Chains A and B, each alone.
Chain A
Amino acid sequence: MKGPSWLPACPTPTMPDERLLLAHGEGGRLMRRLIERHILPPLKNPWLEALGDAALLESLSGRLAVTTDSFVVWPLFFPGGDIGSLAVNGTVNDLAVSGARPLFLTLSLIAAEGLPLAVLDRVLASVAAAARAAGVAVVAGDTKVVPHEACDGLFITTSGIGTLTEPLLPGPAALHSGDALLVSGPVGRHGIAVLCAREQLELTPPPESDCAALVEAASSLQQSAIGLRAMRDCTRGGLAAVMHEWARASGCTLLLEESALPVTPDVRAACELLGLEPWHVACEGVLAAAVPGEACQQALQALRRCAVSSQAACIGQVVARRSAPVVVRRALGNEQPLDEPWGSPLPRIC
């Protein structure tokens, strides 16, 4: 990483050779020092600093949304993000696409003995930056250190709480024939970025992950009052997995246009090279949405107002049920069933 090895928010620069020991997770003085010097400074907020057994929050009005997710991505750092930003955005996005405003996160670290503290600092700085960008506070946490053979560097679990915005989203069961299907940006960037980083595929320039918070995009869409039916972030299994889920929930067929799908040139090239379909590759900063057909343009405008979703596109429509739940119209006009991903072609991408 360029720049100073210390960060303004971190009072004690870490010596480059300092590493995590099992004792750092055992509750004694070393653990206290780890929390005080490495964890609190970047994440600083009154709830966390109280260092209680639980964060004591103010009462929240309205209905709440709660979610949790674990992150085991390898490598820990990849172009466009790292396990820290991923752990924040992944959970924040789950809340955002559920129609909630994300407020608080918890952060649980399982680290391998021997992990350089500099790596931990870098990840926590990234957690802090992503949380700031998404407007959430990390209010509680836990740290465990395990023998190095039990964990590949660092695993992170985040849980999140948010308040639901009224009116609540009807959800995918409410999809109707004639509804338009939208994505907020080019698909497949995260999966390809991690794959290239892990397998050292050395594409130039290296593809970057789209890892980002969708809070603004989701709320802009929801506030545009267009009869939004459902939103979903396209993570594991990519857009295809979301489309299959919606087809199951609604009993309709989703008809997608291959030529309308936004794909960056690098992702397209990598997919061609590796024999993958961009539909199946994971995103970490893209949502799919279904809106009534007549509201399609309005919804696109609402999405395109936000930087994260400036390349939003309409990719298809909901039609009456056919023999296949998800159908893609290829470039030459032929229509084919689009398979649900079976397992993952790219393991450990989040």
Chain B
Amino acid sequence: MKYLDEFRDPVLARWLLDAIRRRVSRPRTIMEVCGGQTHSLLRHGLVEELAGSVELVHGPGCPVCVTPAEDIDLACRLAQRPQTMVASFGDMLRVPGNFGSLLEARMGGNVRLVYSPLEAVALAARQPQLEVVFFAVGFETTAPATALAALHAQERQVSNFSLLVSHVRVQPAMEQIAEAPGHSIEGFLAAGHVCTVAGFASYLPFVERYGMPVVVTGFEPVDLLWGILECVRQIESGQARVANCYGRSVRRDGNAQALDLVEQVYEICDRPWRGLGVIPRGGLRLRPEFAALDARQRFASCHVSVTSPAPAHPPTECAQECRAGEVLAGRLRPDACPAFGTRCTPEAPLGAPMVSAEGACAAYYRYRLAGTAGSSA
């Protein structure tokens, strides 16, 4: 795959690293918003390479990490409801709620891993005797696909399909971080995939309001270094603009068709983020016209009629020890958490960021600690 190799070119990466080091007058602090970027930065050793020049603060852009535990609990209860199947992306399966994960609910329940929300609609159409609930999580990137599933189900009158919507919007979370007193962030690397849908123009008001550069950045090492260099250039010259360093994917106004799908099906709402609290305008919910597809309404009685299973780990203990909220807000580096790698590992996670493929704790574990003498595994 030549296309990817160009963006992993060691010579170009070295050149960019040198350019960044030369450009900074003192160590700069930049937040990469997306968990996919965090993983790539660690996988390619860029966090270490940039130490002393740029401190990368890892942002909240891991959708399954910020999905509220209560939503996971509801999904688990639905999975164990008779004649009900919960379909979800694989990444969601191992994330613990207050009373275990969907993977644990699979024993005695019905949980199905799907690669596309439309697959869940097809499952429902094939098995009319089953209630099929799709657990719709993710940022602006996945919302168009789940919106399409809602429209398909409505058009084809697949009445046994519904959505448990837990979609989140990334910009309100960035606003919350930018407004937090005492933060040291000087610029943001915006998530390339989210901007592919939303467009980079959506950040213009943000930049104006907070006076910090926002650089739309991709996921390969050269993409990331290019984005960091652009961010550093702006910081050093006292500028704050929106720059697009992921031009092969992102356009000014995004993907109009995808945005239109989201607009048709969802409306903006306040949403609790796991570890971060309620973020105003931080989520999406189904519009009233799609109320018939809303699993929360359809199974409203599920909260009371089905008793919760005995907790696998007492929730209070997790809540006390896990500092995922600080990690997600960029206030705590994963390896500075006292439980990291000892009482909290991917095999026995205390919090969602240690589980997800986009979680910052999982990235630190996977690329720094896995299998070493320091880990308890």
Contact with A along B1-31 (1 / 0, CB 8 A): 1001000101001100000000000000000
Q: A268-B1, A332-B8 are in contact. Are A337 and B115 (CB under 8 A)?
A: no
Does A53 sit at the interface, judged by CB under 8 A? Answer: no
Q: A199-B115, A275-B357, A342-B346 are in contact. Are A331 and B368 (CB under 8 A)?
A: no
Q: A330-B43, A330-B45, A331-B44 are in contact. Are A338 and B371 (CB under 8 A)?
A: yes
Contact with B along A312-340 (1 / 0, CB 8 A): 00000000000111100011111111111
Kindly identify which residue among A275, A326, A332 contacts B221, using a CB–CB cutoff of 8 Å: A332
- Report chain A residues within 8 Å CB of B13: 332
Does A265 sit at the interface, judged by CB under 8 A? Answer: yes
Kindly identify which residue among B49, B346, B347, B374 contacts A323, using a CB–CB cutoff of 8 Å: B374
- Report chain B residues within 8 Å CB of A268: 1
Kindly identify which residue among A331, A337, A339 contacts B8, using a CB–CB cutoff of 8 Å: A331
- Report chain A residues within 8 Å CB of B367: 336-337
Kindly identify which residue among B1, B44, B45, B369 contacts A337, using a CB–CB cutoff of 8 Å: B369
Does B305 sit at the interface, judged by CB under 8 A? Answer: no
Kindly identify which residue among B46, B49, B357, B372 contacts A324, using a CB–CB cutoff of 8 Å: B372
Does B366 sit at the interface, judged by CB under 8 A? Answer: yes
Report yes or no: B43 in contact with A336, Cβ–Cβ below 8 A. Answer: yes
Does B373 sit at the interface, judged by CB under 8 A? Answer: yes
- Report chain A residues within 8 Å CB of B373: 323-324
Q: Of A272, A337, A342, which is in contact with the most chain B CB atoms at under 10 Å from its CB?
A: A337
Does B268 sit at the interface, judged by CB under 8 A? Answer: no
Q: Of B221, B366, B371, which is in contact with the most chain A CB atoms at under 10 Å from its CB?
A: B371
- Report chain A residues within 8 Å CB of B368: 336-337
Report yes or no: A332 in contact with B366, Cβ–Cβ below 8 A. Answer: no
Report yes or no: B371 in contact with A336, Cβ–Cβ below 8 A. Answer: no
Does A168 sit at the interface, judged by CB under 8 A? Answer: no
Report yes or no: A272 in contact with B4, Cβ–Cβ below 8 A. Answer: yes
Q: A331-B8, A332-B13 are in contact. Are A324 and B48 (CB under 8 A)?
A: no
Does B276 sit at the interface, judged by CB under 8 A? Answer: no
Q: A268-B1, A269-B1, A331-B8 are in contact. Are A337 and B221 (CB under 8 A)?
A: no
Does A244 sit at the interface, judged by CB under 8 A? Answer: yes
Does A201 sit at the interface, judged by CB under 8 A? Answer: yes
Residue of B with least CB distance to A276:
B357
Interface residues in A, total, Cβ within 8 A? 24
Residue of B with least CB distance to A273:
B115
Interface residues of A in 232-259 (CB under 8 A from B): 244
Report yes or no: B44 in contact with A332, Cβ–Cβ below 8 A. Answer: yes
Does B269 sit at the interface, judged by CB under 8 A? Answer: no
Interface residues in B, total, Cβ within 8 A? 27
Tell me if A's interface is mostly helix, strand, loop or mixed. Answer: loop
Report yes or no: B347 in contact with A336, Cβ–Cβ below 8 A. Answer: no
CA–CA, A331 to B220, complex, Å? 12
Q: A201-B115, A339-B366 are in contact. Are A333 and B371 (CB under 8 A)?
A: no
Report yes or no: B10 in contact with A340, Cβ–Cβ below 8 A. Answer: no
Residue of A with least CB distance to B9:
A331
Residue of B with least CB distance to A334:
B45
Residue of B with least CB distance to A244:
B371
CA–CA, A334 to B40, complex, Å? 12
Residue of A with least CB distance to B44:
A332
Report yes or no: A334 in contact with B115, Cβ–Cβ below 8 A. Answer: no
CA–CA, A326 to B370, complex, Å? 9
CA–CA, A335 to B370, complex, Å? 12
Q: A265-B1, A342-B346, A342-B347 are in contact. Are A334 and B372 (CB under 8 A)?
A: no
Report yes or no: B370 in contact with A338, Cβ–Cβ below 8 A. Answer: yes
CA–CA, A189 to B45, complex, Å? 27
Residue of B with least CB distance to A263:
B1
Q: A199-B115, A275-B357 are in contact. Are A340 and B371 (CB under 8 A)?
A: yes
Report yes or no: A337 in contact with B48, Cβ–Cβ below 8 A. Answer: no
- Report chain A residues within 8 Å CB of B45: 330, 332-336
Shortest C-beta distance, A336 to chain B (Å), equals: 5
Shortest C-beta distance, A199 to chain B (Å), equals: 6
Residue of A with least CB distance to B369:
A337
Report yes or no: B43 in contact with A339, Cβ–Cβ below 8 A. Answer: no
Report yes or no: B48 in contact with A334, Cβ–Cβ below 8 A. Answer: yes
Interface residues of B in 350-377 (CB under 8 A from A): 357, 366-374, 377
CA–CA, A331 to B46, complex, Å? 12
Report yes or no: B10 in contact with A339, Cβ–Cβ below 8 A. Answer: no
Shortest C-beta distance, A85 to chain B (Å), equals: 27
Shortest C-beta distance, B102 to chain A (Å), equals: 15
Interface residues of B in 20-67 (CB under 8 A from A): 43-46, 48-49
CA–CA, A199 to B377, complex, Å? 31
CA–CA, A332 to B371, complex, Å? 22
Report yes or no: A324 in contact with B8, Cβ–Cβ below 8 A. Answer: no
Can you list 6 A-B contacts with CB-CB less than 8 angstroms, sorted by A residue number? A326-B371, A332-B45, A334-B45, A337-B370, A337-B372, A340-B377
Instruction: A324-B373, A332-B13, A332-B49 are known; give 12 further A-B pairs, CB within 8 A.
Output: A199-B115, A265-B1, A272-B4, A330-B45, A331-B10, A332-B10, A332-B45, A334-B45, A334-B48, A335-B45, A336-B43, A337-B372
Closest CB pairs A-B (n = 7): A334-B45, A339-B370, A324-B372, A323-B372, A337-B370, A336-B367, A323-B373
